[in-house]
Every structure is written in structure tokens, then in C-alpha cells.
């Protein structure tokens, strides 16, 4: 018995591997502080859970749901986008349901990428962009995200021959893992670039509502004419603390939405209708819990910035996401630093190389999905074990 070559071509999923190391440490008796995976530690809001209790008792919801999502769900998603971003959507032709945005990323690639096609993938980035491209037989072309360019890709640095062969370009702002943000001026350039080279522009917008200090993240579909070339993937996981519910949606270009829905119709039977009813309650309900959670993450961010700066870092507060993208001490690579964090201090953090083959090295990511007490304990352990930031010494 032998597995397929396509499976051999991709590395193990980073968080599965981190989970194994975490379990080994726990088995040794280590009190592990996990600052790894980005999973909200707050519960799903009560009005959403209550709506699910009601929906699950409806016999109509016990049947197969309609492909592409119920009309009520798609319309609620369109209405929410109208209220939040100011653009209108055709709920039939420009919206389709997703079993979480991760599934949407994979299936969008499968719907558009053939053997040998190029996909423009940020480096660093959410690992699924790269792995699903490889599974589809495509070739990732990595767009460096650097500190010097505020973790935005330099579109003009992409060789025209590569751009002309590209099928999809992935963007993700607010960004995982760097926590960077993009403004409408950058999105205008991205849309113009995609139109020039006939590329499907996919904006992964999973962290749209996780923003701080008065910042509001824009949608790429706010750019006039963006629908002609762009699709945007939304998730309820982070916005409404619904990670385990597996529900999201794609909006934008009609052809891309239709192709994604067509592929999905052949491999899954959509989101449980009761969950879609609960999602409608999420869209139509109050945003108090979003505000409360953002305040919580902001407090944790502020604590983390202050404590890490005491240890030698010179960090500025990020405007969005519950991640922090942090340089390792000079002279160390990402894997060695993260191994030291776990082996010496009992702290789990993913290495930057898990997110990018080149530009990820030299960084590690912290997730702020842990209470302030445990965060403080983590930074106290780092201080105790002299895990500090030591800038590279300037040669005389």
C-alpha cells in the first residue's frame, strides 16, 4: 500500500507537528503555555448558540441543505457586507457558502489551477495557499513580505513572464502571520495588476473584524471594478468565535463564485442548515461580543508589547489580528529559537519557517488567545531563562 505522490509532496501541517511536540513536553510533566494556534478562547455568543438550539429542532433542517447555502444565509451575508463595507451583492450569483474559509481556499485552487499553472503566494503566509497549490499540481511563486515594505508584496518585482502565467494571486489583510494591514491604495494597485495579467485575485479576509485602536479593515471589493477580477473569502470563525462550527462564505466575481460552488457541489453537501440559521443570527445580532473580544485582545497585545520590549525587542502595537510577528535574536534561526522556547521555558510558539520558505525565517509568531495571567507567566519564564532579543552587533 502506498500513498499518492501528491501527499508526499507537501510537508505535514505545521500545527499538527507542533501539537505532537506539545504532547511530548506535557508527558514529561512540563506545564506548557501554548501560544501557538490561533483559536479564540472566548465562547460563541449566547444569541448564536440559542439560535442553534432552536434551529436544530426544525425537521426541515435535518435534510440535505441546498448547494451553495440557504437563501436566508446568503442574503444575510450579503446584507452584512452591505452594512459593513457599503457595497451590494447579488445573493444568488455573487455569494456561496463555505465550510470555513480554509476549505474555500483549497477548493478555489482546485477549481482554477491545472498542472503546471503558477499561483502567486505570499511568503510568509497561511500554509494552505502553498500546500493546496502543490496538491493541485501547480507551482507556487513566492512574493516576499518584508519588514521594509510593511509586509506588502512588491507587485512590480514579479517578473512579467511569471505574472502572465499566474492563475491566482492570494492576498490576506489583516494578515496571518505578520498582523500587517493594507489600505485601499494598495488594493487599487493589486486590482489593476490582476486585471493587467488576467489573474484571479483572492483576498482571504478571515480577520476582517479583529481590529484595534479605531482601525477598520477595508474589503478589496470596495475598489471600483474589483468584482471583475476578485473573490473574497470570509469566515465566521474569528469574527463570531465560531471556529468549530465550520461556516464561511465567498463573495465577488460571479464566474469565480460559480466555479467554486460547482466544484464544492461535487465533493461536499454544504453546511448543516441549522448552523446556517445560527450564522444568520450572528449576522443580524448585536456586535457587543466583537467589541468585547477586540478589547480583550488589545489588552493582551499591549501587555505583550510592553513585556517583550523589556526583554530587548522594539515592537510597535499591531492594528489587527490576535497574532504578533516577532524577530528572533540575531544568530539564531526560527526553528532553533522555537525549540529553545519549548525545551527551556515550556512555551509553544510556531517558527516563521512554517509560513514561508525564505522570508519566514528569522521570525516567530505569538497568538494572543491566552489569558493575561498565562501571558505574563510566559514572559516571566523568558526573562528567567534569558530568552531575550539580542540585536546583531555592528562591526567596527
- DSSP assignment of 156-208 equals GGS-HHHHHHEEEEEE-SS-TTT-----HHHHHHHHHHHHHHT-EEEEE-TTT
- Tell me the pLDDT of the chain averaged across its residues: 95
Within this chain, domains 5-43+288-384 and 46-284 share the same CATH topology: no
Per-domain residue ranges of the chain? 5-43+288-384, 46-284
C-alpha cell at 330: 540575531
Asked whether 43 and 71 are in contact (CB, 8 A), the reply is no
Give residue 194's Cα distance to chain centre: 21
By C-alpha distance, which of 189, 172, 167 is closest to 101? 172
Q: How many CA atoms lie within 13 A of 348 on its CB side?
A: 24
CB 88 within 8 A of CB 112: no
Closest CA to 223 of 192, 255, 251: 192
Residue bearing cell 443580524: 284
Q: Are strands 248-252 and 347-348 parallel, antiparallel or unpaired?
A: unpaired
Give pLDDT, residue 393. 52
Q: Which cell is 4 given?
A: 499518492
- Is residue 374 packed enough to be buried (19+ CB in 10 Å), middle (13-18) or exposed (0-12)? middle
Q: How far is residue 37's CA from residue 322's CA, in Å, rounded to a whole number?
A: 10
3-state helix, strand, coil in the chain (%, to 5): 45, 15, 40
Strand order from edge to edge, sheet including 230-235? 95-98, 248-252, 230-235, 200-204, 166-171, 118-123, 139-144
Closest residue by Cα to residue 172 from 128, 213, 212, 225: 128
Exposed/middle/buried for residue 376 (C-beta within 10 Å: 0-12, 13-18, 19+): middle
| pLDDT, position 396 | 39
List, in sequence order, the alpha helices (H) in 221-287.
236-239, 254-267, 273-284
Topology of domain 46-284, CATH: 3.40.640
Q: What is the dihedral of CA 258, 263, 267, 273, to 10 degrees?
A: -10
Q: Show pLDDT as tens, one digit a residue, over the chain (396 residues).
A: 988 888 888 877 767 777 788 888 889 899 999 999 889 999 999 999 999 999 999 999 999 999 999 999 999 999 999 999 999 999 999 999 999 999 999 999 999 999 999 999 999 999 999 999 999 999 999 999 999 999 999 999 999 999 999 999 999 999 999 999 999 999 999 999 999 999 999 999 999 999 999 999 999 999 999 999 999 999 999 999 999 999 999 999 999 999 999 999 999 999 999 999 999 999 999 999 999 999 999 999 999 999 999 999 999 999 999 999 999 988 899 999 999 999 999 999 999 999 998 999 999 999 999 999 999 999 999 999 999 998 665 433
**Cα angle for residues 191, 196, 200 (degrees, 5° grid):** 55
Asked whether the beta carbons of 35 and 366 are under 8 A apart, the reply is yes
Nearest-CA neighbor of 118 among 133, 131, 103? Answer: 133
3-state DSSP assignment of residue 116: coil
Packing angle between helix 101-112 and helix 254-267, nearest 10 degrees? 100
State the Cα–Cα distance between residues 131 and 199, nearest whole angstrom: 19
**Domain 5-43+288-384 = CATH 3.90.1150.10:** yes
Question: Contact 91/75 with Cβ under 8 angstroms?
Answer: yes
Q: Give strand ranges (E) for the chain.
A: 33-34, 95-98, 118-123, 139-144, 166-171, 200-204, 230-235, 248-252, 323-327, 347-348, 363-367
Helix (H, G, I), strand (E, B) or coil at 22: helix
Amino acid at each position: 500500500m502506498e500513498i499518492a505522490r501528491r501527499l508526499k509532496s507537501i510537508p505535514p501541517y505545521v500545527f499538527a507537528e507542533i501539537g505532537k511536540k506539545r504532547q511530548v513536553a506535557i508527558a514529561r510533566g512540563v506545564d506548557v503555555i501554548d501560544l501557538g494556534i490561533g483559536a479564540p478562547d472566548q465562547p460563541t455568543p449566547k444569541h448564536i448558540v440559542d439560535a442553534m438550539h432552536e434551529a436544530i429542532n426544525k425537521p426541515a433542517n435535518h435534510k440535505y441543505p441546498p448547494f451553495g447555502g440557504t437563501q436566508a444565509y446568503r442574503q444575510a451575508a450579503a446584507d452584512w457586507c452591505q452594512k459593513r463595507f457599503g457595497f451590494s451583492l447579488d445573493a444568488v450569483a455573487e455569494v456561496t457558502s463555505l465550510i470555513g474559509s480554509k476549505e474555500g481556499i483549497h477548493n478555489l485552487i482546485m477549481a482554477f489551477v491545472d498542472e503546471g499553472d503558477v499561483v502567486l503566494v505570499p511568503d510568509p503566509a497561511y500554509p494552505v495557499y502553498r500546500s493546496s497549490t502543490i496538491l493541485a499540481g501547480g507551482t507556487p511563486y513566492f512574493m516576499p513580505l518584508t519588514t521594509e515594505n510593511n509586509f506588502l508584496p512588491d507587485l512590480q518585482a514579479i517578473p512579467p513572464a511569471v505574472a502572465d502565467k499566474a492563475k491566482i494571486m492570494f492576498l490576506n489583510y489583516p494578515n496571518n502571520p505578520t498582523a500587517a494591514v493594507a489600505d485601499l491604495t494598495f488594493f487599487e494597485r493589486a486590482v489593476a495588476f490582476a486585471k493587467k495579467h488576467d489573474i484571479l485575485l483572492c483576498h482571504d479576509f478571515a480577520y476582517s473584524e479583529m481590529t484595534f485602536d479605531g482601525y477598520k479593515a477595508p474589503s478589496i471589493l470596495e475598489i471600483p471594478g474589483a468584482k471583475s477580477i476578485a473573490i473574497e473569502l470570509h469566515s465566521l470563525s474569528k469574527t463570531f468565535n465560531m471556529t468549530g462550527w465550520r461556516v464561511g462564505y465567498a463573495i465577488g466575481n460571479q464566474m469565480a463564485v460559480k466555479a467554486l460552488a460547482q466544484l464544492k457541489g461535487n465533493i461536499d453537501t454544504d453546511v448543516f442548515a441549522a448552523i446556517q440559521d445560527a450564522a444568520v443570527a450572528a449576522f443580524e445580532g448585536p456586535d457587543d461580543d466583537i467589541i468585547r473580544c477586540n478589547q480583550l485582545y488589545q489588552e493582551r497585545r499591549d501587555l505583550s508589547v510592553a513585556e517583550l520590549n523589556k526583554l530587548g525587542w522594539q515592537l510597535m502595537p499591531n492594528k489587527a489580528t490576535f497574532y504578533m510577528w516577532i524577530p528572533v535574536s540575531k544568530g539564531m534561526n526560527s526553528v532553533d529559537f522555537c525549540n529553545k522556547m519549548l525545551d527551556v521555558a515550556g512555551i509553544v510558539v510556531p517558527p516563521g519557517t512554517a509560513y514561508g520558505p525564505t522570508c519566514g525565517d528569522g521570525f516567530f509568531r505569538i497568538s494572543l488567545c491566552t489569558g493575561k495571567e498565562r501571558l505574563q507567566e510566559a514572559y516571566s519564564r523568558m526573562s528567567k531563562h534569558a530568552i531575550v532579543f539580542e540585536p546583531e552587533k555592528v562591526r567596527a
